[in-house]
Chain A
Amino acid sequence: MLRKYRFEILAVVAVLVFCALFLFASSRMGKAEFSGSDTAGSREISEMTGIPEEEYRPLVGQWVPPGPGIESALFALQAAIGGGIVGWVFWYWRGLKAREGS
């Protein structure tokens, strides 16, 4: 039983350890905002060059999500597209396997 589901158990343990690490890190770093590492990278470049971050503009103009909520929604859409495809394929494979088995 334990051996059969060892990868499932490992995945759950990994998620729990990941959450514990997050709680530990956020309790030790009172001010950490967990903003993107790309934000940290942008700040670093602007410090190195002395050019304020706002002056860096993309070469090709682009649409920016008008708020963090909309950005999250679009990220969720991306995950949903992936999840939909994955779910469909596993359903299809299970059907094939059931037919071959009977």
Chain B
Amino acid sequence: MEGFLPWQWALLWWLAALPCLALGVYRLERVLSADREALPLLGVTGGFVFILSSLKLPSVTGSSSHPTGTGLSAIAFGPWVTAVIAAIVLLFQALFLAHGGLSTLGANVISMGVAGPLVGYGIYRGLRDTRVSTFVTVFLACIFADLFTYIVTSLQLALAYPAEVGGVTSSLVVFLGIFAITQVPLAILESVILVLVFKYILQLRPGILVRLGVFSEAKIVAAGGDL
């Protein structure tokens, strides 16, 4: 649905997205130069953003949508690095698929790359040092990273197209009905798959998760012993 975002809003979201991307590139350079094993992990979490966001899946609402796959990357590298990964995927889709355009890229980077991962990251940070299982933490973070992306998309459209009666709130309800409800089963499915991916990372390279401070050593050992 390209061309629907008025240029003022497109520009505003671009201006919001650019500093996030700059911070992301800076963080990315730092983490990659600090630890050689960060690159393969980035490959796995970023690879799943590529895979999952390419899938157009049908939902109970009678329409279909794409998962985002950003949750795992947000947990491992934080929301800013995830914004860079999302920007690469979104650029691919804008150039070759007419799925989102260059003018709306800023708005899409904010919803898929920043807002969703930020919420997922917040949930993960809130649960990281509690007794909640690492797998449950990953699951919840991934679900909300996906769902919140589409909640923000709805909000972006509602701000640009407030209803004549009821304004932004009323059109937000309409857009949430279209985007967010469709997304619920997709978000659950995506998160179950990402938990499985997390299990395999944990089995093969638990050390990198400890060194990056994703989870404490005690929690990683406990999760590994539980497999």
Contacts and interface: CB of A to CB of B under 8 A. Distances in A.
A67 to B, nearest CB: 12
Residue with the greatest number of chain A CB neighbours at <10 A, chosen from B2, B61, B103, B135: B2
B161 A45 contact: yes
Contacts of B43: 85-86, 88-89
B157 interface: yes
B144 interface: no
Nearest to A75: B54
A60 to B, nearest CB: 4
Interface string A41-67: 110110011000000111110111100
Contact residues on B (Cβ < 8 Å of other chain), bracket: 35 or more
Nearest to B102: A60
A82 B55 CA distance: 12
Interface in B45-72: 46-65
Interface of A: 4, 7-8, 10-11, 14-15, 18, 21-22, 24-26, 29, 32-42, 44-45, 48-49, 56-60, 62-65, 71, 74-76, 78-79, 81-86, 88-90, 92-94, 96-97
26 contacts: A14-B193, A15-B189, A21-B185, A22-B58, A26-B58, A32-B62, A36-B63, A37-B178, A38-B1, A41-B1, A41-B178, A44-B174, A45-B4, A56-B1, A58-B101, A59-B101, A63-B96, A63-B98, A76-B54, A78-B97, A79-B51, A82-B54, A86-B43, A89-B47, A92-B40, A97-B205
